[in-house]
Amino acid sequence: MRILTHHDVVRTLPMADCVVAMKQALIDLANGAYYLPLRLKARPEGEPNRMGFMPALRLADDRRLWSVKEICVTPSNGARGIDPHQGMVILHDGYDGRPLGIVDASSITAIRTAAVTAVATAALAPREVRKVAIIGAGVQAAAHVDAMRVVVPKDAEIVIANRSPGRAAQLAEEKHCGFAPTIQEGLADADVVCTVTGSYEPILKLEWLKPGCHVNAVGSSLAAARELDGPTMKAVELYVDRRESAINESGEYIFAVQEGFIGPDHIRAELGDVLTARHPGRSSQDQITCFKSLGLAVEDLAAAELALQNAERLNVGTHVDW
């Protein structure tokens, strides 16, 4: 069994390679290659943080593999300079259950989440992308800069904005991006928008969005949190990573349904259906598309597997006899 730390994963999971792996994982999911139950969440009443457990099984005979991500989410970690997501992804042989690897979940989550956003952007964005707005200034914002640089033209402008402009300015300098002092200014004329704030309240308005843009709503997997309000959800063509997850976990979707802005038929398709050509995707260049990302255990499995494969080739990490 091999153990990979945060720094090991950063070395063994390049963003461009992870984008390819996430696309294939979502295609495989659409083709029925995974068993994927909903995540289990544990949060005692009154406690500020929570734990999540995300199991998956890849069913392919020659690549059968169990995985589980156990992760502790502590929103206040951002103020401490620590990733709010802390935990492990554990891989097991799909036949005999032997543990094959333990991988840092913080780095896996950051890289694979942004890589899935890149896959959705490549599939749903308008033909010409000249500006990308990233709303947020934490770990996911930094990872999304790297992911966007994989799939948008090299001369496209990437701008970072945040509710706390000081943090956005600092990240923009670190990542060699543009900076906007307000979210509205950051969104101006943006062809692609990535919201990665984890906000419990909507952070943008429909009138701030450019007609025909693509929005990646990434910030939270909590039913009580949303970055997009009801009018915005009603106006967009909505795509999701998985219908069952969106209906049960997406605050954007749940609030919009409760408020009467949308109904159950508002979800156009899962992203995997677009990638497999079961659904055509974007209907016109003037329509705003939206991908609601909740994060799936199959993504953790595929990302951890790729990191472990590269680690073995590069002799990275710690090998332990089990």
10-residue block means of pLDDT along the chain (322 residues)?
97 98 98 97 88 96 94 85 90 96 96 98 97 96 98 98 94 97 97 94 96 95 92 98 96 97 96 98 96 98 98 96 82
φ and ψ at residue 63, rounded to 5 degrees: -140, 35
CATH homologous superfamily, domain 2-108+298-319: ornithine cyclodeaminase, domain 1 (3.30.1780.10)
194 forms bridges with which residues in the sheet?
134, 216
What pLDDT score was predicted for residue 63?
87
Q: Please tell me the distance from the alpha carbon of residue 54 to that of residue 295, in angstroms, as a whole number.
A: 10
Cβ atoms of 203 and 196 closer than 8 Å: no
Tokens for 219? 């910030």
CA distance 82 to 49: 14
pLDDT reported for residue 81:
80
Q: What is the distance in angstroms between the CA of the first residue and the CA of the last residue of the chain?
A: 6
Dihedral class, residue 93 (left if φ above 0, else alpha if ψ from -120 to 50, else beta): beta
CA nearest neighbour of 20 among 203, 192, 263, 275: 275
Q: What is the pLDDT of residue 286?
A: 95
Would you state the pLDDT for residue 264?
Answer: 85
The dotted CATH code for 117-295 is 3.40.50.720
The predicted pLDDT at position 83 comes to 84
Choose among 105, 112, 86, 84: nearest CA to 14.
112
2-108+298-319 and 117-295 agree in CATH topology: no
Per-residue confidence (pLDDT) for residue 229, from 0 to 100: 97
> Which pLDDT belongs to residue 128?
96
**What whole-number distance in Å separates Cα of residue 288 and Cα of residue 285?**
8
Domain boundaries, the chain: 2-108+298-319, 117-295
Res 212: pLDDT = 98
Q: What is the SS3 assignment for 75?
A: coil
Q: How many residues does the chain have?
A: 322
* pLDDT in the model for residue 84: 84
> What pLDDT score does 220 carry?
80
| R_g (Cα) of the chain, nearest Å | 19
Give CA–CA dist 28/271, Å, rounded. 11
pLDDT at 46: 86
Rounded Cα distance between 80 and 98, Å, is: 36
Contacts of 265 (CB under 8 A, 6+ apart): none
Strands 318-319 and 267-270: unpaired
Three-state SS for 73? strand
Q: What angle do CA 183, 291, 169 make, to 5 degrees?
A: 25
Q: Tokens 């989440």 appear where?
A: 113
Contact 101, 310 (CB under 8 A): no
d(CA 28, CA 321): 32
pLDDT at 209: 98
Q: Quote the pLDDT of residue 279.
A: 98
∠ Cα 39 203 185 (to 5°):
135
Q: Which residues of 80-94 are buried (b: 16+ CB within 10 A; e: fewer)?
A: eeebbbbbbbbbbeb
